[in-house]
Amino acid sequence: MLLRKAIETRARVEGDLLKVDDFLNHRVDVELFPEIGEEIAKRFTASRPDLVLTAEASGIPPAMAASQAMGIPMVYAKKYVGVGERYTFAREVSSPTKGTEYRVEVARRVLPPGLRVAIIDDFLAGGRTAEALGEIVEEAGGEVLGFVFVVEKTFTGGRRRLEAHGWRVDALVGVASLENGEAVLEPE
């Protein structure tokens, strides 16, 4: 798997951060993305989503790849600091790592009731943004079919937070620990 190899050889550990900005979320190596899209699509073969939902900005490349692989549209939620737009479904999200608070918003017009939604993001750590997206889907009268993350830090509480809602959670690559500047991946 190209993605796994890229993480093994090109990710950097800085403190408790796993930096993948050389290929995933700043510089984007597009040749990784057809595979990412296909791997995500596989996980929704049975459940047949209508829509891929993510949050700007780093969720957009994997969500777009998934959307292309499944032939369905994608919506990216906007993040606002301060006052957002009108006519939206919105949640306040606090980010303990960055020490900031922002609002995640999806316009009502792009999220009509009854949609079956696959939620995609690049990273699962604390899971607060993902939880906000799931709650927005349910508030809109849609169904959360499940979450797929490109990378999950399995040593954080994100998966538990989402599973507590009864939602299905999956990840393409799990990172078990970041110790001594080394990312240890979960077995495939």
CB of 70 to a copy of itself, least distance (A): 9
- Which residues contact a copy of itself by CB under 8 A? 21-22, 26-31, 33, 56-57, 60-61, 64, 67-68, 71-76, 78, 81, 106-107, 109-110
Q: Minimal CA–CA distance to 84: which of 122, 56, 114?
A: 56
Angle at 129 between CA 143 and CA 24, to 5 degrees: 105
Of 39 and 161, CB closest to a copy of itself? 39
In the complex with a copy of itself, the residue whose CB is nearer, 22 or 155, is: 22
Q: Provide, rounded to whole angstroms, the least separation between the CB of residue 61 and a copy of itself.
A: 6
In angstroms, give the least distance from the CB of 72 to a copy of itself.
8
Peptide bond into 57 cis (omega under 30): yes
Q: How far is the CB of 186 from a copy of itself (least distance, A)?
A: 27
Measure the CA–CA gap between 42 and 136, rounded to whole angstroms.
24
Q: Which are the contacts of 137, defined by CB distance < 8 A and separation ≥ 6?
A: 53, 111, 115, 117, 119, 143, 144
Q: Which is nearer to a copy of itself, 115 or 130 (CB)?
A: 115
Cβ proximity to a copy of itself, 76 vs 123, nearer residue: 76
Between 21 and 179, CB nearer to a copy of itself = 21
Contact 75, 111 (CB under 8 A): yes
d(CA 113, CA 16): 39
* Least CB distance to a copy of itself at residue 138 (A): 19
